[in-house]
Amino acid sequence: KAGVTQTPRYLIKTRGQQVTLSCSPISGHRSVSWYQQTPGQGLQFLFEYFSETQRNKGNFPGRFSGRQFSNSRSEMNVSTLELGDSALYLCASAGVAGANVLTFGAGSRLTVL
Amino acid sequence: GENVEQHPSTLSVQEGDSAVIKCTYSDSASNYFPWYKQELGKGPQLIIDIRSNVGEKKDQRIAVTLNKTAKHFSLHITETQPEDSAVYFCAEESSNFNKFYFGSGTKLNVKP
């Protein structure tokens, strides 16, 4: 079965712009999480959605937001981009409630110039 | 729950040797501890996990041990092969379901 698909894989933006990243989970998975990966901070939790509701949120500023659609696909948005937002953004999906095993996508690499 | 310490940061072994990576955590309420392998250009891939009701789990050449009293867990890879070369991450699930804290990663290099 298809894995977790993230688009776009690579993108370059300039400071002040905004960006939207997309994630399609494994078919049947209703939980979608987002993580930011940087060399300095490692993998940091952004937020998690289940059935279109945000269940958990990490310690990121309000410029980082997300949503989940009825088909479980998710998007995350970063507004007013800063240089420090350059990172690999990873999406992970998990199965039915009670199954907290994450399957990650390949990530979207964002470069902010 | 926010502090997962992982050691070493880099590990170089000869093919066929064993490799051990250790992690410590702070939240005594944590019950689920997965390990991920990340290869260049890819997302992390789950390789093994352990829940707090067991002390050890093994899957072929890979094993994980958990000491809840000491709050540490370890990944053991035996008979290492060059394809084991990657970055390995430990993780701890927080008290919030599906919210994970990750270690800083260990870059494993297996020399042929």
pLDDT digits (tens, 9 = 90+) for A62-107: 999 999 999 999 999 999 999 999 999 999 999 865 468 899 999 9
Q: Please check the confidence at residue B43 and state whether its pLDDT lies above 50.
A: yes
Q: Please check the confidence at residue B75 and state whether its pLDDT lies above 90.
A: yes
Candidate from B43, B99, B102 with C-beta closest to A42? B102
Beta-carbon pairs below 8 A across chains A and B: 55
Read off φ and ψ for residue B16, nearest 5 degrees.
100, -20
Amino acid at A109: R
Are residues B59 and B44 in contact, defined by beta-carbon separation less than 8 angstroms?
Answer: no
Percentage with pLDDT > 70 across chain B: 98
Contacts of B93 in chain A (CB under 8 A): 100
Count CB-CB contacts under 10 A for residue B51. Answer: 13
Are residues B61 and B110 in contact, defined by beta-carbon separation less than 8 angstroms?
Answer: no
Contacts of A31 in chain B (CB under 8 A): 98
Coil, strand or helix at A24: strand
Reported as half-sphere exposure (CB side, CA atoms, 13 A), residue B55 has a value of 4
End-to-end CA distance of chain A: 37
Read off the pLDDT of residues A14-26 as tens digits, 9 standing for 90 and up: 999 999 999 999 9
Contact B46 A48 (CB under 8 A): no
Least confident of A13-27, A93-107, B2-16, B75-89: A93-107
- Residues 31 through 60 of chain B touching chain A, CB cutoff 8 Å: 32, 34, 36, 41-46, 49
What's residue A99's pLDDT? 64
